[in-house]
Structure 1
Amino acid sequence: MYKLYPSVRTIVYTKEHFITKDKYFVSFDKFLENVFNKLNTFLSANKKKEAGDINFIYDSSLKEEEYQLNIDSNKIHISYKSEAGAFFAVTTLKQIFRQSGEKLQTVEINDYPDLSIRGLLLDISRNKVPKLETVYKVVDLMSDLKMNHLELYVEGFSFEYKSFSKYLVEDGYFTLEEYKELEEYCNQRSIDLVPNQNGFGHMADWLAKEEFNDLAECPDGAYIWGRNRPAATLDPGDPRSLKLISKMYADMLPHSNSKYFNMNFDEPMELGKGKSKEICEEKGIANVYIDYTLKAYDEIKKYNKTPLIWGDVLIHHPESLKRLPKDMLFVDWGYDSVYPYSKNLKKLSDLNIKFLAAPATTSWCSFTGRSNEYIESINNACIYTKKYGGFGVILTDWGDFGHFQFLPISYAPIAYLAMMSWTTEEGTITKLPDYMNKYVFKDKENLLFQTMFDLGSYNRYENSYTTNATYTFYGFLWGYYASKAEDPIEYYKNKTKGSILSVNKFNLLHQFLNNKVEEIQITDLHCDDGDLIKKELYQSIYLIKNIQKVMMAFNEDLSIKERISYLEEVMNSKNRIIDRQKKLWLSRNKSGGLEDSIALIEGFLKFAEYTLSEYKRGEDSGE
């Protein structure tokens, strides 16, 4: 019995055997170069005009990505409608070959995906810009599991905008040449590289430049989500806003061969709070939002692209959705188990809106991910997208607040999304450990996936549930902001109130993390980046431990000496934390943006050092 990933639609074993060969003659009714090259990654293939050992047969009656793979005692026959279908058939055949020896068990397989778009969005704009070879590795993982859509999220200057080259930071952006090379690499693997850039909200890097600041809805920023934030939203009523994004489009879209473009337009936080306040009160925020969207849409259509747009604004204004162009794809995003995909996607279906869902790897703002949340997020997105007739799903992998998670934290969520979006069925989670340990980590101990899944559940020891992050990460983030506050200690106390662990829970958490370190040491990884993965996990655990030590310095059940002891341990680890973070970062990513990310760690440690000095001063004075 073969273990195939993702699960195939139907498989019938025919109780014979196909004897493997040193060389195979392959016939195509129409030559498919990428498919032929894929074959040659696991067997020696030679083209042949007449019938060969492996025969590709075009069949117009099949679905777009459907294939039929029949292995009999003498031949292998693959029927397909599209090149993608043929490629996916070979992907399945590769799994069969690597699970077999000199004989293949004969089978008849019919297979096609439940969802048409099975995608991934990688954030390359929150400090961390990956090296090209890093993205290649992600593409290989996607390809092996039949994903077909990749986006590199761009806000700010992480793409080589030729018209704005003076703002590019050395080694801090994806070059146009790299983008074209990546596109070719993706297309060879039946993956569509879809251009992506923001042009409404999330424009902080642009609006921080003097040249563009007066295009902001609120040039001086606004108080949002508990703190003052810099200007991040364009003024939709200023014609120069459209002129700016049109120029950005002109620098990116002509270089893409995808038919899609993700225009984003999510989280225009200041909309209606500044220059557009009066018009928003008159026409309504949704109509002002759509007016600007339609202008951008007209610019995008000049490049023959179909836009995707995030749904966080208009999902709350369903009466306005009828104004959207009929070809636009509405992307409903939700990153936690509590997100109401069942409600939202039904609403979109009832309104005849073309939609996708966007669940999450949950890797960001956590260091090691949030395992239960990515399972629920992906399950709900796939199940209800299929139920209500959506186009597909795009798994998001963001990098908020310094992009501190290391890439391998996202490997399992990517694989799980791939499996669920191809075959949306119960029990898929039971297939994930085997696939990750055998084919991704190549762990002879068959352990690392389970260890990493556990690490993504360290928040079980936190005092309560929170969305989109862990309280440990918030403990880190509030420490950074406290370092800038007028009264750092009082600020931190207020922000972390309710999230400081008891002594018993703190000890349990540290025991848990130490056990995970022991498990990582036991693993026997044979993947190319095995040693690096281990180091990245050790560093992630080390960060969590030290953050929790700082938080324990605010546990009032401890004596001042005990609190000082925790802070001294952290300060003794200062150089190790920073030096290792830099070294590991540069193993997979470009250097641009690194110092901005490290600044958050330095700010957190500065706050810890300040707290330590204040505690010691109080101890010396007898306070």
Structure 2
Amino acid sequence: MSLDNGIDAVADPSRERPLALIPRPLHLQRDRGQLLLPVAGRIVCGSAVDQELGSVLSGQLTDTIQQATGMVWDHSRGQAWNGAISLDLEQKLGPQEYLLSIADQGERRPIVDIRGGDGQGLRWGVQTLRQIIMQCGPVLPALHIQDRPAYPTRIYSLDVTRGRVPTMDWLRHWADILALYKFNQLQLYSEHTMAFPGMSEAWRGTSPLEPGQITDFDDYCARLGIELVPSISTFGHHYTNLRTRGFRDLGEFPEQADRPYSFIERQEHHTINVNHPQALAFSTGLIDAYAPLMRTRNFNIGGDETFDLGKGRSRQDGSSKNPADMYADYLISLCDHLHAQGRHPMFWGDVAVSMPKVLDRLPKDCTLLNWLYDPQVEPDKVALVASTGARQVVCSAVHAWNLLLPAIDDAWNNISRLSRYGIQYGAVGAMVTDWGDYGHINDPRMSLPGMSYAAQCFWNPDDDDRAQVDRDMGLLIYGDATGDYLPALIQAGSSAVFGWEDMVRYWELDDGHGGLNQDVADFLASALPGMNGLNSSADVREARRNMLMALRNRFEQVDQRDALLVDAAARMGRAAAECRADARRTLQAQLMAVHGQRLFNALGRSLAVRHGVLPGAKDAMADGDLADALEIWFESYATVWRQVSRESELGRIASVIWGFADILRKG
């Protein structure tokens, strides 16, 4: 039937195709037929829709229609205008709820009607329609959707401090993706890579984010319906800050400030001495510099992994407080500071959960971010926080840190399980974290699977059909109609023998002067199954051999894993040939990671032979070739890094890669 507004109904069920939607709607009814969008259509917003919101949503839709079909559409407001797509509010719907109908409703009636219970609900309906248009072009399936999220707050936390600082273009691109998949909060985690006043000694050489860039990005996120929330360390994780001349005296162990730089120590040490008379002023100064750059009233003050608290200067100062009281008093002081400004404190919950005394003292008008990253996570810690009446957000992870290739199975298991527990115990929100420990070698594009899993599980944790989610992800994220791209990426991510984490651990057993780094050795004895403890009389070579012995079973699988990596790269390449051009942009980063992992695996086996862990004779020529290959790979890796990140601390990764190349050439 031909309509006056140029819309044609095509009743041909045989041409219907499966729809990939992330997250999948709660209720979707497919009807018979397909409907052809007009060549020159119009989007009309109802008068109840905020003008700025209507402009943003109309712009998103017209851009998506043009990209998917080449057609140029108009947009307008008010009942006087006819449109093929109608956007309006519906009081009968709940918060963030929406209705989306695609149907032949007769002459002079819209073909697509989206109603939101509020502005957010209307926004999510538009994102669903955009996903449909991206797949179907101008020929839309007739359907009816009624949908709403399980978690009102769905958060992505992005590390922009531990070696990789993203470009603003990439941050805007990432925000676009988060908006498309219905996240409504983004936290930017920083320790020292904001250009804070008076702290240039800490942020120099890190390509820091500037205040104007954050303010502009806040405006950008707000237009997308994303709340940009500041997230900083306030008394734990101050490794770089507490190594400076200007601030080292604030630390628990200022005498360690001149030790050689260490990725491992950056994660394990450098907590502020909370009893220092200038400590609170330092922490509140960071808050006061960062908070005004964003319109939100929320602020994540960190407070996690305060490993050194009460062990150094704070203990020597003669304080009678135990670490639990020190922690609680300082956290409460920071919360009070934020409350006085009308802001809402959020903080990581690991310390409080591990110390019931702290948990009992927490102010109730805060949000505890309960991070639990174990792929086999159990509900006990979520239940514990719920039993206190504390407001909590459950926090899972994309499981990509310290890896060239993501641990996608771990991400699914962690995110899907924890999302269900959060609903069960009344969590007010869900977060997925994206960290960059050990220099942030993981390319941000490796986080797309974890991000997609979180989008689905935060929206509807009971819909846990992973096979369906993977199929939808393959189509939407990678544009892959073959269904093989994601399985190949999962295979590649499961084929590491000697990963970046192993390389850093091996490298940093040397204290920088040829001696054994006892702190790293002690850390590995507790973190690496099968590694025996080492006393101070052990040398670096003995410690490294001990570590490689703990990994021996892996090294015996290098050839098998190498074949799997080669196969995965070939499968990804074949699938990418069928993908959309924009989806193929991730291929270079992933193939670069696959090739790098092959070289890392070969390096591990070479080291195992050198240390007598595996049989075989050292081949100086082969080792020289591997050294060349590592250096050549790194130059290409650096080029890919710069596509999405500033220079930041890329040189720290280079120093490790080049260091191994030098070891290989020593014979």
TM above 0.5, one fold?
A: yes
| Counterparts of 1:250 and 1:228, CA distance in 2 | 28
Distance in 1, Cα, partners of 2:449 & 2:369: 23
Give the letter aligned to residue 244 of structure 1: F
- Normalising by structure 1, we get a TM-score of 0.89
Is contact 1:405–1:540 with CA below 8 Å preserved after alignment?
no
2:545 to 468, 493, 497: 493
Q: How does 1:208-287 map to 2 (within 5 A)?
A: 208-221=243-256, 232-277=270-315, 282-287=320-325
Report how far residue 502 of structure 1 moved. Answer: 6.4
**Aligned partner of residue 573 in structure 1, secondary structure:** helix
Q: Which residue of 2 aligns with 1:424?
A: 461
Residue matched to 2:505: 478
Give the Cα separation in 2 of the matches to 1:292 and 1:69. Answer: 49
Cα distance between partner residues in 2 of 1:84 and 1:280: 53
Task: Give the distance between the partners of 1:337 and 1:541, measured in 2 at CA.
Answer: 23
Q: Counterpart of 1:527?
A: 582
Whole-angstrom distance in 1 between the partners of 2:610 and 2:396: 35
Q: Is the contact between residue 47 and residue 77 of structure 2 (CA under 8 Å) also seen in structure 1?
A: no
| Greater Cα shift, 140-149 or 513-522 | 513-522
Give 2:89's match in structure 1, choosing from 49, 58, 67: 58
* Equivalence map 1:451-466=2 (5 Å): 451-459=488-496
What is the distance in 2 between the residues matched to 1:599 and 1:609? 15
The answer for the alignment partner of 1:406 in structure 2 is 443
Residues 381-416 of structure 1 show CA distances to partners (whole Å, capped at 9, x for unaligned) of 211111111012211111111211122211111111
Is contact 2:20-2:475 (8 Å) kept?
A: no
Match of 2:531 in 1: none
**Offset of residue 15 of structure 1:** 4.1
Worse overlay, 188-197 or 171-180: 171-180
- Could you tell me which amino acid in structure 1 is paired with residue 26 of structure 2? R
**AA at the equivalent of 1:493:** R
Q: Pick from 54, 69, 78 the counterpart of residue 49 of structure 1.
A: 78
Paired AA for residue 284 in structure 1: N
- Residues 104, 581 of structure 1: CA spacing in aligned structure 2 closer, same or farther, 3 A cutoff? closer
Is the 8 Å Cα contact of residues 397 and 432 (structure 2) preserved in structure 1?
yes
1:517 shift after superposition: 2.7
Deviation per residue, 1:503-536 (Å, 9 max, x gap): 6522212222222232233232422624533543
1:46 partner amino acid: H
Q: For residues 426 and 65 of structure 1, do their structure 2 counterparts lie closer, same or farther at Cα, with a shift above 3 Å needed?
A: closer
Query: CA shift at 1:36, angstroms?
Result: 2.2
Q: Does 1:374 align with 2:411?
A: yes
Aligned residue identity for 2:126? V
The corresponding residue for 2:326 is: 288
| Residue of 527, 537, 544 corresponding to 2:593 | 537
Counterpart selection for 1:364 from 394, 397, 401: 401
Q: 1:350 aligns with which of 367, 381, 387?
A: 387
Runs (5+) with no aligned partner, structure 1: 463-470, 613-623
RMSD of the alignment, in Å?
A: 2.8
- Match of 1:330, SS state, is strand
Query: Match for residue 26 of structure 2?
Result: 9
1:255: Cα distance to partner?
1.2
* Alignment gaps of 5+ in structure 2: 1-17, 66-72, 516-538
Task: Sort the Cα spacing of 1:402 and 1:573 in 2 relative to 1 into closer, same or farther, 3 A.
Answer: same
Pick the aligned partner of 1:173 from 208, 218, 222: 208
Partner of 2:660: 604
Whether contact under 8 Å (1:479, 1:608) holds in the other structure is no
Whether the 8 Å contact between 2:327 and 2:358 is mirrored in structure 1 is no
1:408-450 per-position Cα deviation (integer Å, ceiling 9, x unaligned): 2111111111111111124442233333332222346543222
1:594 aligns with 2:632: no
Deviation, structure 1 residue 258: 1.4
1:334 and 2:372 correspond: yes
Separation in 1 of the partners of 2:421 and 2:645?
35
Relative distance call for 1:138 and 1:280 in structure 2 (3 A) is farther
Could you tell me how far 1:554 is from its partner in structure 2?
4.7
1:192-220 Cα offsets, whole Å, 9 max, x none, are 11111111110111111111111112212
Which one of the candidate residues 81, 98, 102 is aligned to 1:67? 98
Superposed CA deviations along residues 571-620 of structure 1, whole A, max 9, x for unmatched, are 2324313322322222221112111222222333344444x3xxxxxxxx
Alignment deviations for residues 16-49 of structure 1 (CA, whole Å, 9 cap, x no partner): 6654222124131233332222222234242131
Whole-Å separation in 1 of the counterparts to 2:169 and 2:377: 34
Evaluate the alpha carbon distance shift between residue 195 and residue 15 of structure 1 in structure 2; reply closer, same or farther with a 3 A threshold: same
Inter-CA distance 196–102: structure 2 relative to 1 (3 Å threshold): closer
Question: Could you list the runs of 4 or more consecutive aligned residues of structure 1 that deviate by over 6 angstroms after TM superposition?
Answer: 225-230, 278-281
**How has the CA–CA distance of structure 1 residues 479 and 16 changed in structure 2, closer, same or farther, with 3 Å as cutoff?**
closer
Partner residue in 2 for 1:39: 61
TM-fit CA distance, 1:103:
4.8
Rate the CA distance shift 1:15–1:577 in 2: closer, same or farther, 3 A: closer
Q: Deviations over 1:338-381 (max 9, x none)?
A: 333x1111111121111111111111122212222111111122
Residue 508 (1) aligns with residue 560 (2):
yes
Q: Distance in 1 between matches of 2:545 and 2:430?
A: 40
Q: Kindly, what percent of the aligned residue pairs are identical? A: 20
The verdict on how the C-alpha distance between 1:294 and 1:349 changes in structure 2, with shifts beyond 3 A counting, is same
1:415 corresponds in structure 2 to: 452
2:197 aligned with 1:162? yes
Contact 2:445 2:589 in 1 (8 A): yes
Partner of 2:310, secondary structure, is: coil
Equivalent residue number for residue 197 of structure 1: 232
1:541 to 1:351, Cα distance in 2 relative to 1, 3 A:
same
Aligned to 2:37: 20
Range moving further from structure 2, 145-154 or 11-20:
11-20
Q: Deviations 1:28-74 (Å, cap 9, x if unpaired)?
A: 12333322222222342421311643333333443321112233323
TM-aligned CA deviation for residue 155 of structure 1: 0.6
**Comparing 107-116 and 557-566, the one that deviates more:** 557-566
Deviation at 1:560, TM superposition (A): 4.8
Amino acid at match of 2:547: K
Q: How far 1:299 moved relative to its partner?
A: 2.0
Question: Which residue is equivalent to 2:47?
Answer: 29
Which residue does 1:615 correspond to in 2?
none
Q: What is the DSSP-based 3-state SS (H/G/I as helix, E as strand, rest coil) of the residue aligned with 1:366?
A: coil
Query: Distance in 2 between the 1:62 and 1:545 partners?
Result: 55
User: Following the alignment from structure 2 to structure 1, what is the Cα–Cα distance between the partners of residues 375 and 322?
Assistant: 31
Task: Map residues 562-577 of structure 1 onto 2, 5 A cutoff.
Answer: 562=618, 564=620, 567-577=623-633
Per the normalisation by structure 2, the TM-score is 0.83
> Aligned AA for 1:418?
A
Equivalents in 1 of 2:169, 2:61: separation in Å? 22
Structure 1 residues 350, 446: CA separation in 2 closer, same or farther (over 3 Å shift)? same
Whether the 8 Å contact between 1:17 and 1:73 is mirrored in structure 2 is: no
- SS in structure 1 at match of 2:426: coil
